[in-house]
């Protein structure tokens, strides 16, 4: 079974207990697949394929060594498949690397009283790789400038990791004024995670921005247990202006970005007129 000419899939699938509507399959890539403009990789890829009566589309995740590259989404469109109506099919290289697999938030050092909060294991791995160093620097800076706000921000995967960072910073520095801004961020954890973050950071200190039809915030489907936190600010029409950005009702407002079909990725890299991947020095 091949998709888009770049992936060759085996059909030795298993059905995990928690995902009875899903299948997990091993596969390997048979030729180069672009990761970004001008960048290719010979390493395997994992992807998630959603099939419905009217839509069949693919999100591919590279699996090189760094967590940043590993979790960057790509998408290609496929045809309609009436025979596989309303199925969620997950095709991954190994069960332990499942894109929707969550672990307890206790897995992030420094967090306590998390209850039943769970988060994407890949996002937590990405944060844990840098979290200790980041917290050390932020703690020192806060001691020098105690009246300053601490703003954590990120785009896409960076937004997911920033949300975990906000929790760790607030837990370590409870008196600090922590603010979180994310752009095009995917869902990070379950309902308990969303509630935990809102309680720790404060809903009024969380700004989660979605650009028009950006589908990355939708790729971890609600039926798999994922929920968005905080308040969404939806830039529903270009060009961005106060008149074209609406403050939504919570994180899962059905009248905001959730009202869009999750098939558009060309809007993911453009926020407020800035082409993010093309601005490597934007935050320097």
Residues with active-site annotation: 156, 214, 268
Q: What is the C-alpha separation between 254 and 173, in angstroms, rounded? A: 35
The DSSP code for 216 is G
Beta bridge partners of 189: 119, 227
How far is the CA of 222 from the CAs of 8, 83, 163, 190, 226, in angstroms?
Answer: 28, 23, 19, 9, 5
Q: What is the C-alpha separation between 268 and 210, in angstroms, rounded? A: 9
What's the token pair of residue 195?
């509630």
- Contact indicator for 88, 222 with CB cutoff of 8 Å: no
How far is the CA of 79 from the CAs of 51, 58, 142, in angstroms?
Answer: 9, 10, 53
DSSP, collapsed to helix, strand or coil, labels residue 75 as strand
Segments in 15-104 forming alpha helices (H): 67-70
Phi, psi of 283 (to 5 degrees): -100, 10
Q: Which residues contact 149 (CB under 8 A, 6 or more apart)?
A: 176, 177, 178, 179
What's the token pair of residue 159?
């937004």
């Amino acid at each position: 079974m091949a998709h888009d000419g770049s992936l060759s899939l085996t059909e030795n699938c298993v059905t995990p207990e928690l995902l009875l509507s899903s299948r997990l399959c091993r596969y390997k890539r048979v030729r180069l697949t672009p990761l970004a403009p001008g960048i290719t990789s010979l390493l395997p890829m994992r992807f998630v394929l959603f099939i419905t009566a009217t839509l069949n589309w693919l999100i591919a995740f590279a699996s090189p060594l760094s967590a940043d590259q590993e979790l960057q989404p790509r998408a290609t469109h496929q045809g309609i498949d009436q025979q596989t109506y309303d199925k969620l099919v997950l095709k991954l290289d190994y069960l332990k690397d499942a894109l929707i697999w969550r672990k307890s938030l206790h897995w992030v050092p420094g967090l306590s009283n998390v209850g039943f909060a769970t988060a994407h294991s890949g996002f937590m791995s990405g944060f844990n790789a840098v979290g200790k160093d980041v917290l050390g620097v932020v703690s020192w800076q806060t001691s020098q400038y105690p009246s300053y706000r601490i703003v954590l921000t990120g785009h896409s995967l960076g937004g997911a990791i920033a949300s975990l960072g906000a929790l760790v910073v607030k837990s370590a520095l409870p008196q600090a004024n922590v603010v979180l801004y994310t752009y095009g961020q995917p869902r990070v954890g379950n309902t308990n995670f969303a509630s935990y973050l809102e309680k720790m950071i404060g809903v009024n200190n969380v700004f989660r921005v979605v650009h028009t039809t950006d589908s990355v915030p939708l790729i971890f489907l609600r039926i798999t247990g994922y929920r968005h936190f905080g308040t969404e600010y939806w830039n529903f029409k270009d060009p961005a202006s106060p008149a074209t950005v609406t403050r939504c009702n919570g994180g899962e407002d059905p009248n905001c970005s959730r009202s869009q079909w999750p098939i558009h990725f060309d809007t993911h890299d453009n926020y407020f007129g800035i082409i993010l991947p093309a601005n490597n020095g934007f935050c320097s």
